[in-house]
Each structure stands twice: as structure tokens, then as C-alpha cells.
Amino acid sequence: MMKFGLLGRKLGHSYSPMIFDLMGGYRYDLFEREPEGIEDLLRNEDFDGINVTIPYKKEVLQYLDEIDPLAKRLGAVNTIVKRNGRLYGYNSDYYGFLSMVRRTCIDVSGKKVLVLGSGGASVTVRAVLEDLGAAVVVVSRSGENNYDNLHLHADGALLVNATPVGMYPNTGTAPVDVSRFPALEGVLDVIYNPRRTTLLLQAEELGIPCSDGLPMLVAQAKAAEEYFFGRKIPNSENERILAMLR
């Protein structure tokens, strides 16, 4: 039987085993490792494919034999496939967020998009949005565009939360007040637990189209499975699994 799994440090909250079970019903394990255990896992563990979550998406790069150009561009790998003893690295997060944006039917081309956060998730989000033609403004705590000068960006058309603010178990908080952006056409939150963060509840109250991060999580898993098995999977599979999860 082929063997797959998820590599991370703390994985008790992970939805991945459930998602991959709904996709294919194959063996999918959780590989909780401290940093010093990563090389041994990748070099010696018996597996066919592994997904990688924080904090190891950059750490694994040094152990791979080949890295896909997109993953190189983003500087992060979240999908590893073993073929004939060699390790190949890919980034399916890009396709996950791209699918999430397209699912909302929000046209970002030529529009100002505010991305909250400058970490790993922000890099992927920014790459997708720029490829779609958006004018991306990254808001961080200490950057040129920060939480003290948000008034400069009240004309933002889309707001994307790429920070962990509002994520379980620290719920009930939001990185910004949505009402400060009267031109918003949409709000996206990469957080999927809880599904309705305080940020999204604010957007709903104001009648602004919005989405939680579960569609991104499912879509990146589908893309990862395509790498695992070297075959295309219909996009309709995303909606089937989303419906079952919800």
C-alpha cells in the first residue's frame, strides 16, 4: 500500500487526514517531528509522498533532490514526492489560494488588494494576486505600510488576512476593523479554524462577499494529490469534499 502523510511540529489540529481520506481513502499519517528529526524522516522513512506544514516549508528545501520552479520562486515547499529514491519538492499552496480567489468570482486585476501579514502565507498570497494583475499592498506591524497608517489604504478593493490573528484557540479577535475600508468588494481569510472568524463576521454584517480558508485548504490538497499520483483531478472534487467537511 502506498503511504502518505503530513510533516509538521504540532499536528493535532490538522484537517489533512480527513481531507485525504475523503479524496482517496489511502493511508495518510501524521509525522510530528522536532527540527532535528526532519532529515532522518526524509532520508530514511518509508513514504511515497508527504505534505509539509509550518514551520518546515523552508526547512525541507535543503534535503530535496529537485525543486519545482514555482516552489523555488516562493521559497517554500509543502508537497514532497518520492520517485525512485529521489525527493521532488512542489508548492500546492499557490494553487489552493488561486482556487479560493477564483471561487469568490472577485476580479482583482488592476485593483488595490491589502494583504495583512508578511510571513510565509503572505508570500504565496502575494504571488497569486500579482499574477492576477492586482496592485498588492502588504500590511505588517513594522513595514512601510502598517496598522498605524491604514487610512492611506481606505480605497482597498480586497482584504486578505494572511496572519494567524483570529485562529483557534485565540478566537474573538480581528487584525483590522473592516468598516475602515468602504470600497471593499471582498474579504478573504486564510484561517479555516474557526470557519467564521471575527473578521469574516464583520464582513458578513456589512454585506461584503467573503470566504474562510477551507476552500484553499481543500484545493491545495487536491493539487498535492495530483503531484502524488501524476494525474489531473476534476475541480468538482473540491466542491464535493467541501460539502462533506461542512
DSSP-assigned letter for residue 130: H
**pTM (two decimals):** 0.94
Q: Are 74 and 123 in contact (CB under 8 A)?
A: yes
Mark the ranges of the chain whose per-residue pLDDT is less than 70. none
For residue 55, which phi and psi values (nearest 5 degrees)? -105, 30
Return the closest-CA partner of residue 210 out of 195, 220, 223.
Answer: 195
pLDDT at residue 246, as a whole number: 81
pLDDT at residue 12, as a whole number: 81
For residue 3, indicate whether it is catalytic.
no
> What own/partner pairs with CB < 8 Å and gap ≥ 24 does 106-109 have?
106/158, 106/185, 106/186, 106/209, 108/132, 108/133, 108/134, 108/157, 108/158, 109/133, 109/134
- For 27-39, what is each residue's pLDDT tens digit? 899 999 999 999 9
Q: Are 35 and 10 in contact (CB under 8 A)?
A: no
The one catalytic residue in 57, 82, 111, 222 is 57
pLDDT at residue 1, as a whole number: 74
Question: Mutual orientation of helices 93-104 and 214-229 as an angle, nearest 10°?
Answer: 130
Cα–Cα distance between 180 and 196 in angstroms, integer?
Answer: 20
